[in-house]
Amino acid sequence: KVVTRNPSHGSNIDVHISRHKPDTNAASGAKVDAEEKKSMLSRERFTAVVTTLFVWSLAGALFGGLFIGLYQVLTVLGLSDWQPVVVGSVAAAMTTAAFYSAMPVAMVGAAAGVVASIGYLIVFGQRVELSTIAITATSAGLIAGSFYSWMVRRNARPLAETLTGLLAGLGAGVILSVVLMLYPQPVGPLVMAAGIVALVGALFQLNEHWIVQACHGWLPDGLAAPLVSALIAGVIGASIWIMGGTAAAALDMETKDAIERVLNDIPLGFLGGLLGGVVTGMVLELLGFRIENHEMV
């Protein structure tokens, strides 16, 4: 309480001054909100990292096993030097890109390939021929993909993503071929699969956007799903031939032994691809390539 004097009336005037205490509740509430927001962002970042590791490890394992299997089969069929590396890398990259970016179309092709291959085995029994089962599965995939394209909205992006995989596989295959030529020591399937997965993954992620944009407008929408589905179905048919080749009575012992070696190397390729995918995914995540920003078609 402060007493002042009024000069005009000569009387005292009481003036009450109140002191307001600072609002501690508002400050503490803002602090709690900031901490909760920070904790939420940390959980989201952790979830994104775990998702990245899972997706890249799965894609890498698929690519690694498929690449090593194709590499060994192509070597058995007579290809040498750079040819099995490049062809195997391109085929595996296109297949993995389809599963990675165009899962519905890839699943249609995979289902068609499995059904056609099983039907082939039922009809022809022990006479398992690679060309016949691959053509049968590819034809089934083409039909299934055409039906899928007719049923849903047509979109050329699956084919653009697969072409991106083709270019990434081609570049990675050429690089790996040069490395293998310059390095005199033999390279095991685990190391080879890990290296090719890292190369293809990096090239695919770095070039996907501009390749898809460049393909926009000139790729046929109606042919995208059938072609991608046929590719996946053909790979499935060839894989079933590899798995069932050792039990086929029509094959000679030399071919059966070669297929047996292929089957023994596939798990190493699977593991190498998984490790390469994890490392590549983490590096790309640190560089700002977020898996959650990737578009699925």
pLDDT in tens, 103-140: 888 889 999 999 998 888 888 766 667 788 889 999 99
Counted residue by residue, the chain has a size of: 297
Q: Which residues does 5 contact at the CB level (< 8 Å), separation at least 6?
A: 11, 12, 13
Q: Rg of the Cα trace of the chain?
A: 30
Q: Which pTM was predicted?
A: 0.74
Q: Would 295 be classed as within a structural domain?
A: no
Q: Would 242 be classed as within a structural domain?
A: yes
Q: Would 24 be classed as within a structural domain?
A: no
Q: Would 17 be classed as within a structural domain?
A: no
The distance from CA 228 to its chain's CA centroid, rounded to whole angstroms, is 15
Residues 277, 292: Cα–Cα separation, whole Å: 16
Q: What are the average pLDDT values for consecutive 10-residue runs of the chain, which has 297 residues? A: 48 49 56 60 70 83 88 80 89 87 86 89 74 89 89 78 89 91 85 91 85 74 86 87 58 65 83 89 77 53
Residue 250 vs residues 27, 111, 170: alpha-carbon distances, Å: 81, 27, 35
pLDDT in tens, 173-223: 999 999 988 887 888 889 999 999 999 988 888 888 888 777 766 777 788
Q: Would 219 be classed as within a structural domain?
A: yes
Q: What pLDDT does 162 receive?
A: 87
Q: Please give the residue range of the domain that contains residue 124.
A: 64-290
Q: Would 47 be classed as within a structural domain?
A: no
Q: Would 96 be classed as within a structural domain?
A: yes
Q: Would 79 be classed as within a structural domain?
A: yes
Number of structural domains, the chain? 1
